[in-house]
DNA sequence: GAGTAGCAG
DNA sequence: GATTCTGCTACTC
């Protein structure tokens, strides 16, 4: 038996899809947003259009034979009375998604909610469930109370802890409800969590008008997969046992995962599935491959997996990672709420002949950049609480990227048949883009004219002959603004110390040790600390920043202004003149 | 840092 | 298979 990493079954994770997918991988979030806006649409066949395509549609449309990624003209032929709404501008969907996310985050201690796309969320509810499992009264399970706030005994909801809320896998309708005494601790926690999932789903429906499918288990992988067992508008909890017993009882995880088609497993995309298929089923097999087929293939293990999936370009440790997920082992954390995106991009696609001259390109670049700057202003700008305070950039992207997709793909390289279809160029983002006193259109024109067009010519050196299917303008390489009082004061003292050390190292001259700079740089990455950020450098375009120095009254050290807060906290924490102490 | 690949909805 | 309009991570150079 090959080794796999131990599964961490101490966590409890809930996965929500909003709204529930109705079929295979069917997401109709966009359609739901329109329905919530205009409830009359619910009973009509509704399709959301982007370009020539139905990107998604509601249940009624689906019932009439429409489906995702269908051509508009086919949709109209099949269902002549279909209501078509335009969904190329994602603003509305982005806003709805954020609203739902902030809503669920209210319930979850520590804000442990991660978003996946617009319509999915992972909730790490370990602490809430542990707390509420601990206070269960075994003598009166049927009238339990779930505490949503340990400091407010009235906050929460009543529930019946003798049974799971919603469905389970395996479903056990024929068996009588188990007595609490016979439940394992894990089973009890999952049961309690199922009621929390049900409560959050009902709140989502009552308060926001969105139905959701839920999955409850101990990892993101399992919660997500089990959530799609009972759809729509239901939830499923993956029941223990999670381990294969010595007495031969089968792990429900293996049971559950084994029948899944390999491609359906999150993390196994089309490329990995293809590689696995050719290893296990031979080169040109059309058959659907299940997790069991792969797992039980003779000689299969982490090593063969690595040989199958590894190679140049592959992620490190891919073999072990995939081998683990086939056994239901996924110890990836639910990432903490992120309040800033790591990149923002705007793209549009173009029909034949729509983008075949530099003048057309220029016009489109201005349009794209206008949207991009608007998005930067809504997503990266802190508007300030009162009218007196100045808006402030929360982050400064440092890189501008232009991507295009030539209509027939780039030069076919003969070996690879599949379409690697985007090409891109990046450059430093001009800092005038952050000017708030200039109007968006004229900023966009400058960016397009003075920066993007040059990048475009690098991508497409030929003066003519190209015909582009897509252009995308992005800002990436986001650097959060440091020195913001609100943010800084929220951090713990340990964070301050590490920041302090990093800041000082950067500003200390080490003439004898040439490795010191590199060592300091490495630390930012290891500890995930931002390098010192010269805020002033971003504010003005051509001018050199004038760094104001602060002199510490305790130790006499001089430092740039941004280090002052960290430095004084260093002393407040009881440190004296001697920094080496 | 630049550019690409592959994952996701 | 790729079609839409994104956004994330991680690789190579």
Q: What is the pLDDT of residues A367-382, one digit of tens each?
A: 999 999 999 999 999 8
In this structure, is residue A226 part of a structural domain? yes
Return the closest-CA partner of residue A365 out of A407, A401, A411: A401
Q: Which are the contacts of A9, defined by CB distance < 8 A and separation ≥ 6?
A: A186, A218, A242
Lowest mean pLDDT among A59-73, A125-139, A448-462, A504-518: A504-518
Q: Looking at residue A425, what is its pLDDT?
A: 93
Residues 32-51 of A with CB under 7 A from strand C: 50-51
User: Contact A92/A81 with Cβ under 8 angstroms?
Assistant: no
pLDDT higher than threshold 80 for residue A492 = no
Does one domain contain both A92 and A232? yes
**Cα–Cα distance for residue pair A542/A528, rounded to 1 Å:** 30
Looking up tokens 């990107």 gives A55
**Residue A357 belongs to a domain:** yes
Kindly tell me if the per-residue pLDDT of A514 is higher than 60: no
Of A214 and A411, the one with more pLDDT: A214
Residue A92 lies in a domain: yes
Q: From the CA of A420, how many Å to the C1' of B5? A: 8
The encoded tokens of residue A420 equal 């690697």
- The answer to whether A260 CB is within 7 Å of strand B is no
Distance A343 CA to B3 C1' (A): 16
Work out the pLDDT band at A495, boundaries 50, 70, 90. Answer: very low
Residue A405 CB lies within 7 Å of the nucleic strand C: yes
Which single residue has its CA nearest the C1' atom of nucleotide C6?
A: A345
Is there a domain that residue A5 lies in? Answer: no
Tell me which protein residue sits closest to nucleotide C5, measuring alpha carbon to C1'.
Answer: A347
The verdict on A459 and A564 lying in the same domain is no
pLDDT at A246: 79
Q: Place A388 in a pLDDT band, splitting at 50, 70 and 90.
A: confident
Whether residue A150 sits in one domain with residue A136: yes
A20 & A99 share domain = yes
Which nucleotide is the nearest neighbour of A426, by CA and C1'?
A: B2
Domain match, A218 and A305 both: no
Is residue A40 predicted with pLDDT exceeding 70?
A: yes
To the nearest whole number, what is the mean pLDDT of chain A?
80
Query: In the 82-141 stretch of chain A, whose C-beta falls under 7 Å of nucleic acid strand C?
Result: 88, 90
**Mean pLDDT of all residues in A64-84:** 91
pLDDT of residue A284: 60
Average pLDDT of A341-348? 94
A552 pLDDT higher than 80: no
Tell which strand C nucleotides have any atom below 7 Å from a protein Cβ. Answer: 1-12
Provide, rounded to the nearest whole percent, the portion of chain A with pLDDT above 70.
76
The gap between A529 CA and C9 C1' (Å) is 18
Calculate the angstrom distance between C1' of C10 and CA of A286: 30
Looking at the structure, do residues A219 and A120 belong to the same domain, yes or no?
yes
For residues A115 and A230, state if they share a domain. Answer: yes
Residue A507 has pLDDT above 50, yes or no: no
Please check whether residues A95 and A243 belong to one and the same domain.
yes
Q: What is the pLDDT of residue A572?
A: 38
Is the same domain home to A361 and A445?
Answer: yes
Q: Number of H helices and number of E strands within chain A?
A: 20, 20
CATH of the domain at A321: 1.10.150.20
Question: Of A194, A220, A247, which one is at a domain's C-terminal end?
Answer: A247
Domain boundary among A480, A501, A529: A480
Please report where in the chains the tokens 């110890």 appear, as a residue: A331
On whether residue A455 sits in a domain, the answer given is yes
Give the 3-state secondary structure of residue A407: coil
CATH code of the domain containing A443: 3.30.1490.100
Q: What are phi and psi of A120, to 5 degrees?
A: -125, 150
Calculated CA dihedral for residues A126, A131, A137, A138, nearest 10 degrees: 40
Name the nucleotide with the smallest C1'–CA separation from A21.
B9
Q: What is the mean pLDDT of residues A457-480?
A: 90
Range of A151's domain? 13-27+88-247
CA-to-CA distance for A347 and A569, rounded, in angstroms?
45
What average pLDDT does range A270-284 have in this prediction? 84
Distance CA A57, CA A244 (A): 42
SS3 content of chain A, % helix, strand, coil (to 5): 40, 15, 45
Residues A96 and A163 in one domain: yes
Considering all nucleic acid strands, name the nucleotide whose C1' atom is nearest to the C-alpha of residue A274: B6
Res A540 pLDDT > 80: no
Cβ-proximal residues to A420 (8 Å cutoff; 6+ apart), any chain: A409, A410
Q: Is the CB of A120 under 7 A from strand B?
A: yes
Tell me: pLDDT of A573 over 70.
Answer: no
Distance from residue A43's CA to nucleotide B5's C1', rounded to whole Å: 42
Q: Do A475 and A494 share a domain, yes or no?
A: no
Which of A80-89, A229-238, A264-273 bottoms out in mean pLDDT, i.e. has the lowest? A229-238
In a domain, A140, yes or no: yes
Q: Both tokens of residue A414?
A: 């003969």
Give the whole-angstrom CA distance, residue A15 versus residue A227.
Answer: 7
Whether A45 maps to a domain, the answer reads no
- Asked if residue A548 has pLDDT above 80, the reply is no
**A45-CA/C10-C1' distance, Å:** 41
| Strand C atom within 7 Å of A313 CB | yes
User: Which region among A84-88, A357-361, A508-512 has the lowest average model confidence (pLDDT)?
Assistant: A508-512
The token pair that represents A223 in the structure block: 């919660």
Give the C-alpha separation, A291 to A272, whole Å.
13
In degrees and rounded to multiples of 5, residue A417 shows phi and psi of -90, -30
Protein-proximal positions, strand B, CB < 7 A: 1-9
Residue A41 domain-assigned?
Answer: no
**Lowest mean pLDDT: which of A136-150, A167-181, A422-436, A566-580?**
A566-580
Q: Which residue has the higher pLDDT, A497 or A389?
A: A389
Least confident of A130-134, A257-261, A412-416, A429-433: A412-416
- Calculate the angstrom distance between C1' of C6 and CA of A152: 41
A428 touches strand B (CB under 7 A): yes
Using a 7 Å CB cutoff, list residues 381-400 of A near strand B: 398-399
Which pLDDT does position A420 carry in this prediction? 63
Residues present in chain A in total: 581
- Domain count along chain A: 4
Q: Domain ends where: A247, A269, A289?
A: A247
Note whether A23 and A155 are same-domain residues: yes
Q: What is the CATH number of the domain that holds A121?
A: 3.30.70.270
Distance CA A202, CA A198 (A): 6
């Amino acid at each position: 038996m090959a080794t796999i990493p131990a599964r961490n079954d101490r966590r409890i994770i809930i996965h929500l899809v909003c709204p529930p997918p109705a079929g295979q991988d069917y997401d109709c979030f966009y359609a739901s947003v329109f329905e919530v806006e205009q409830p009359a649409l619910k009973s009509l066949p509704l399709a959301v259009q982007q370009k020539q395509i139905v990107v998604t549609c509601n249940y009624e449309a689906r019932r009439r034979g429409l489906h995702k990624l269908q051509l508009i003209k086919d949709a109209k032929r099949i269902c002549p009375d279909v209501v078509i709404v335009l969904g190329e501008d994602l603003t509305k969907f982005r806003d709805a998604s954020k609203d739902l996310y902030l809503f669920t985050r209210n319930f979850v201690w520590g804000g442990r909610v991660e978003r996946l796309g617009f319509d999915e969320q992972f909730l790490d509810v370990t602490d809430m469930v542990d707390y509420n499992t601990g206070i269960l009264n075994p003598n009166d399970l049927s009238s339990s109370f779930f505490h949503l706030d340990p400091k407010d005994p009235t906050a929460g909801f009543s529930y019946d802890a003798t049974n799971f809320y919603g469905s389970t896998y395996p479903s056990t309708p024929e068996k009588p409800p188990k007595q609490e005494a016979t439940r394992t601790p894990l089973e009890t926690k999952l049961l309690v969590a199922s009621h929390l999932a049900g409560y959050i789903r009902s709140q989502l429906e009552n308060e926001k008008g969105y139905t959701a499918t839920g999955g409850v288990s101990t990892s993101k992988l399992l919660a997500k997969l089990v959530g799609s067992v009972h759809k729509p508008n239901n939830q499923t909890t993956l029941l223990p046992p999670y381990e294969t017993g010595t007495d031969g009882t089968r792990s429900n995880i293996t049971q559950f995962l084994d029948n899944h088609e390999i491609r359906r497993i999150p993390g196994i995309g089309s490329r990995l599935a293809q590689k696995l298929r050719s290893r296990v089923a031979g080169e040109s097999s059309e058959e659907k491959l299940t997790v069991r087929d792969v797992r039980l293939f003779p000689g299969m293990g982490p090593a063969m997996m690595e040989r199958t999936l590894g190679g140049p370009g592959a992620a490190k440790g891919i073999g072990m990672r995939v081998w683990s997920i086939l056994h239901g082992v996924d110890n990836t954390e639910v990432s903490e709420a992120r309040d800033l995106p790591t990149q923002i991009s705007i793209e549009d696609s173009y029909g034949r002949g729509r983008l075949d001259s530099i003048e057309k390109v220029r016009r489109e670049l201005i349009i794209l950049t206008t949207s991009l700057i608007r998005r930067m202003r809504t997503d990266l700008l802190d508007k300030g609480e009162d009218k007196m305070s100045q808006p402030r950039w929360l982050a400064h992207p440092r890189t501008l990227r232009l991507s295009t997709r030539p209509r027939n793909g780039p030069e076919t390289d003969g070996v690879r048949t599949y379409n690697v279809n985007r090409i891109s160029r990046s450059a430093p983002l001009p800092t005038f883009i952050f000017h708030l006193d200039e109007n968006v259109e004229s900023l966009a024109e400058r960016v397009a004219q003075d920066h993007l067009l040059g990048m475009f010519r690098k991508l497409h050196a030929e003066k003519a002959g190209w015909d582009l299917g897509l252009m995308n303008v992005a800002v990436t390489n986001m650097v959060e603004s440091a020195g913001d009082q609100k943010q800084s004061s929220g951090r713990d003292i340990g964070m301050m110390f590490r920041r302090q050390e990093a800041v000082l190292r950067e500003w200390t001259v080490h003439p004898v040790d040439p490795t010191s700079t590199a060592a300091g740089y490495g630390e930012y990455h290891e500890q995930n600390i931002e390098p010192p950020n010269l805020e002033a450098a971003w504010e003005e375009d051509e001018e050199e920043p004038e760094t104001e120095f602060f002199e510490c009254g305790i130790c006499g050290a001089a430092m740039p202004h941004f280090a002052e807060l960290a430095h004084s906290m260093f002393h407040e924490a009881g440190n004296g003149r001697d920094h080496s102490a």
